[in-house]
Amino acid sequence: MLSINVTLIIPFLVAAFLPFLAKKKLPFHIGWLVLAVPIFLFMIIASYIPSVAKGETYLQTIDWIPSYGIHFTTYLDGLSMIMGLLITGIGSLVILYSIYYLSAKESLHTFYVYLLLFMSAMLGVVFSENLFVLYVFWELTSISSFLLIAFWYHRKGSRNGAQKAFLITVSGGFSMLTGFIMLYSMTASASIREIITSIDQYAGHPLFVPALVLILIGAFTKSAQFPFHIWLPDAMEAPTPVSAYLHSATMVKAGIYLVARFTPIFGGEALWFWLVSCVGLITMFWGSFRAIRQTDLKALLAFSTVSQLGLIMSLLGLGSIAYHLGVQEESVLFTLATFAALFHLMNHSTFKGALFMIVGIVDHQLGTRDIRRLGGLMSFMPVSFTVALAGSFSMAGLPPFNGFLSKEMFFTSVLNIHQLDLYSLDTWGFLFPIIAWIGSILTFVYCMIFVFKTFTGTYQAKKLEHEAHEAPIGMLIAPVILAILVIGIFFFPNIIGEYLITPAMNSVFPTFTPTLDLSQDISPWHGWTMEIGMTVGVVILGTLLYIFFQKWKGVYSLFSQKWSFNTLYDSLLENSEALSKTLTKFYMTGYLRDYLVYILLFLVVVTGGIFFYTDAFSFDMSGDAPIQVYEWIVVLVMTIAGISILFAKSRVTAILLNSVLGYMVAILFVVFRAPDLALTQLVVETISTVLFLLCYYFLPEWKKEKTERKTKITNMLISFSVGSLFILVALAVNSENLFATISRYFEGAYELTGGKNIVNVILGDFRAFDTMLEVVVLFIAGIGVYSLIKRSAVKGEEKLEDQ
């Protein structure tokens, strides 16, 4: 079996290779070449299923920054395997779908480069065992998703949606990074496995709770949890294959994965339970409530995704109670919640991926996604209708579809919660099943809207851009496969449970094993239970709400757009832009003098302030050598020349006075026994003077500007402050002996390098890398100049040809 590291590298390599094919006329669609990548990766990961199901894990490490304990470490266990299979499996179907969905006129090479980059980033997130490597891939998913969402950049909605998704998820990523740094500071380890084994001794650490909150913020932003959910609906401006991949199966699941992975670290903390479970339930309710009022099929699915992610998140929160209960028998009731979360994670990917593809088909074939213009499509698009029916009913939690099984487990988990005399659940626990049930009713309603408003009713041909007809077979293959999985998992759930979910459970609960074989607990029928009663109630009340929707839809008018989170986001963005423009106009005046004033004042205030605050200005000149008369004379000449420049009435006079300063510096180098430096200074000063004189010869007559008295005083004060600061710093540094002087190291220059001239040795050997970079900079500048000259020559030839 190939190493897991290979699965991360292959998509990057193919993505780097694709641009070279941009101008090649291939005899086949480039998507077929790209399709081979996720299929191959899926086969690699799937080959580990038997051994991982037996409890084996795989760890590979490549040293990266060993001094800080940062290594490129990949870790394959049950949890990462589920995510890896979803990323590559759904990715394969999405690429197959995109081959028929995207027009050949699109920039397909760019699209697939972005898609493969995102695939690699997601695989990196789920397989990384090091905190900081995980963060690198985490932010790479944000960057690549930004590029994918903005693929149709000529659309304003795509640009705004990409910007919103990027700002929110990257901000959450910074929060998560801060939490990671706190964890590293507490445990002195960046290894997730090592942190899990040692975290008990740090539970009371002052940084433990802040790290918990900051990491959860990162997870909530990525998985579109309330109130960070606002980016997901706007991200639906992306092409449908992107929506099906990023926002139903992969990217939005990254936060879910993070919470599951860190449950062994924070699961025993009450705050973790309350935040994860309550935010999840609120998100589930709010997402389903908002989905009902949508008139765009994609927007409806976007809010339904928010709702379903909230359901999974709440289950992970409920499952974390098992860490408080430990090996007690009743802890199994709550490990079942985690089992349900992982099960619904997979189920959601199947039915939501299929539904997104069906929406793409409807939009592709009819030219609209507006529910108000649709209807009666069942007879024209029977296959699409069948897939939509299976996906919607699975999302609604109806049999015989896989969503029914995990939804029943969800009801079981929320019903068990109020039985505990823990975390004040005996008081507030009754709210969990109520909110879950109401959210499920609303879920049923928007699922009925999706199916029946689109495929039944009156066919409105005049409102459609194209005549209705079924999509090509190639476009239907992917959603049909997902629909088959939706039904197949319902009838054979324990295969998934035994080989995939149970090993993932061992990853979430590595310190103890549940006392029951949860994989055998998946069954469509457990008798007439409370859960079945809740499902029947969902169907009855959901049907009534759907039928009488026109009677109660006025409730949405109570939620004004002025007070929405989108309005808050837009307001913050606009105010930030206005503030930044005001601030920029304040300091970007267009005058070089003002920029120098800002720089020098900052230098004086910050450097001088730190020196004064730390009491670093201390002088001891008792050991200094006496200053000779000729040294005083040189300094006096430099002072007179420097002051005289300010009063020079011609350019030539100013240049000559400036040269006096330079030559006096050369004399000081001679006095201090540095002839090489003196020679270099003389050569540079002579060349500079000649060049200055040559350049100024061609300039117009110099007219001295009239400077206000206030400006002159300001200039004088700043000059005096900067000069005084550097004198004080030099004296303070010279008076301190905290470290051995570095000159002693260079005294052995001949033995170290074989060179007798210490100045040349420092430049050519000790600073060789820096000198090489300087040469590279000059080389790059030369290339730029050559390119400009070449371009000008080409334009000149084109003009001649036109004439």
Secondary structure (DSSP) of 228-295:
GGGHHHHGGGS-HHHHHHHTTTSTTHHHHHHHHHHHHHHTT-HHHHHHHHHHHHHHHHHHHHHHHT--
Computed over its alpha carbons, how large is the radius of gyration of the chain? 34
Cis before 400 (ω within 30): yes
Q: Residue 763 gets which letter from DSSP?
A: I
pLDDT, greater one: 612 or 14? 14
User: Is residue 522 within 8 Å of residue 497, measured between CB atoms?
Assistant: yes
pLDDT for 461 beyond 80:
yes
Instruction: Give the phi and the psi of residue 59 in degrees, each rounded to 5.
Output: -130, 125
Instruction: Give the phi and the psi of residue 250 in degrees, each rounded to 5.
Output: -125, -80
Q: Comparing 515-529, 589-603, 753-767, which segment has the lowest mean pLDDT?
A: 515-529
Residue-wise pLDDT for 390-399, tens only, equals 999 999 999 9
Distances (CA, A) of 109 to 23, 27, 35, 97, 418: 10, 15, 13, 16, 54
Distance CA 288, CA 204 (A): 38
Model confidence at 706, pLDDT cuts 50, 70, 90, reads confident
Residue pointed to by tokens 């993932």 = 504
Q: Comparing 159-173, 193-207, 467-481, 765-779, which segment has the lowest mean pLDDT?
A: 765-779
User: Is residue 269 within 8 Å of residue 327, measured between CB atoms?
Assistant: no
Residue 515 is predicted with a pLDDT of 43
Rounded mean pLDDT, 155-173: 92
Query: Percent of the chain scored above 90 by pLDDT?
Result: 49
For 106, the token pair is 């699109």
| Residue 137: strand pairing partners | none
Residue 761 is predicted with a pLDDT of 81
Distance CA 576, CA 336 (A): 46
Domain residues of the chain, as ranges? 273-547
User: Is residue 246 within 8 Å of residue 83, measured between CB atoms?
Assistant: no
Residue 799 is predicted with a pLDDT of 57
Query: Residue 415: which residues within 8 A CB-CB, separation 6 or more?
Result: 433, 530, 531
Model confidence at 803, pLDDT cuts 50, 70, 90, reads low
User: Is residue 135 within 8 Å of residue 173, measured between CB atoms?
Assistant: yes
Length of the chain counted residue by residue: 803
pLDDT for 412 beyond 70:
yes
Query: Residue 725: which residues within 8 A CB-CB, separation 6 or more?
Result: 603, 604, 607, 608
Q: Comparing 429-438, 454-463, 690-699, which segment has the lowest mean pLDDT?
A: 690-699
DSSP alpha helices (H): ranges in 374-430?
A: 382-396, 402-417, 425-428
pLDDT for 520 beyond 60:
no
pLDDT for 321 beyond 90:
no
Distance CA 160, CA 163 (A): 5
Residue 798 is predicted with a pLDDT of 58
User: Is residue 78 within 8 Å of residue 500, measured between CB atoms?
Assistant: yes
Distance CA 87, CA 306 (A): 19
Consecutive H or E run containing 58: strand 58-65
User: Is residue 382 within 8 Å of residue 480, measured between CB atoms?
Assistant: no
Residue pointed to by tokens 């789920």 = 126
Which amino acid type is present at position 635? Answer: V
Model confidence at 483, pLDDT cuts 50, 70, 90, reads very high
Distance CA 714, CA 719 (A): 9
Residue 8 is predicted with a pLDDT of 85
Q: Residue 153 gets which letter from DSSP?
A: T
Residue-averaged pLDDT of the chain: 87
Question: CA nearest 471: which of 350, 386, 401?
Answer: 386
Residue 519 is predicted with a pLDDT of 46
Instruction: Give the phi and the psi of residue 3 in degrees, each rounded to 5.
Output: -65, 150
Residue-wise pLDDT for 333-362, tens only, equals 678 889 999 999 999 999 999 999 999 999
pTM of the model: 0.81
Residue-wise pLDDT for 564-584, tens only, equals 888 888 888 889 889 999 888
Distances (CA, A) of 218 to 112, 261, 321, 530: 27, 13, 22, 36
pLDDT for 410 beyond 90:
yes
Question: CA nearest 223: which of 181, 269, 168, 288?
Answer: 168
Query: Percent of the chain scored above 70 by pLDDT?
Result: 94
Residue 477 is predicted with a pLDDT of 95
Residue 516 is predicted with a pLDDT of 44
Q: Is 399 left (phi over 0), alpha (psi -120 to 50) or beta?
A: beta
Residue 312 is predicted with a pLDDT of 96
Bridging pattern class, strands 58-65 and 70-76:
antiparallel
Residue 185 is predicted with a pLDDT of 93
Residue 333 is predicted with a pLDDT of 66
Distance CA 201, CA 270 (A): 17
User: Is residue 87 within 8 Å of residue 8, measured between CB atoms?
Assistant: no
Rounded mean pLDDT, 117-138: 94
User: Is residue 127 within 8 Å of residue 66, measured between CB atoms?
Assistant: no
Distance CA 254, CA 381 (A): 34
Residue 795 is predicted with a pLDDT of 58
Residue 307 is predicted with a pLDDT of 95
- How far separated are the first and last CA of the chain, in Å rounded? 66
User: Is residue 21 within 8 Å of residue 109, measured between CB atoms?
Assistant: yes
Distance CA 257, CA 86 (A): 12
Q: Count of alpha carbons within 13 Å of 362, Cβ hemisphere only?
A: 29
Residue 340 is predicted with a pLDDT of 92
Residue 436 is predicted with a pLDDT of 94
Cis before 433 (ω within 30): no
pLDDT, greater one: 355 or 740? 355
- Reduced DSSP (H G I as helix, E B as strand, rest coil) percent helix, strand, coil of the chain, to 5: 75, 0, 20
